[in-house]
């Protein structure tokens, strides 16, 4: 459930609000009665950067593809007139 709090409450009770966020609560922060921000727990997200060493380790175990055979298969299966 989302709670609405004033910017002043966030400033005055920062630790309490952050503890509530850690516990899973979401807040909409208002300034002069207008919503200006949303404060919510960070969800685990899929990382977008993969270290080079991990890519190299995956590539080392990947199936080898004969690029000439792959191209021939594509040419045979896909209408090149498109």
10-30: per-residue pLDDT in tens? Answer: 999 999 999 999 999 999 999
Which residue has 């991990």 as its token pair? 54
Domains of the chain listed by start with CATH number: 2-39 (3.40.1620)
Starting from the edge strand earliest in sequence, which strands make up the sheet with 26-31, in order?
2-6, 26-31, 34-39
Checking if the pLDDT of 3 tops 80, the result is: yes
Buried-state track 51-67, b at ≥16 Cβ within 10 A, e below 16: eeeeeeeeeeeeeeeee
Residues 32-75 have pLDDT tens digits of: 999 999 999 988 667 778 899 999 999 999 888 999 999 999 99
């Amino acid at each position: 459930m989302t709670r609405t709090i004033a910017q002043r409450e966030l400033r005055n009770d920062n630790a309490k609000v952050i503890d509530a966020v850690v516990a899973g609560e979401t807040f909409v922060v208002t300034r002069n009665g207008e919503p200006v921000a949303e404060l919510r727990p960070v969800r685990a997200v899929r990382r977008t950067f993969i270290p080079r060493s991990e890519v190299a380790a995956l590539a080392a175990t990947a199936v080898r593809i004969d690029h000439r055979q792959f191209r021939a298969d594509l040419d045979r299966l896909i209408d090149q007139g498109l």
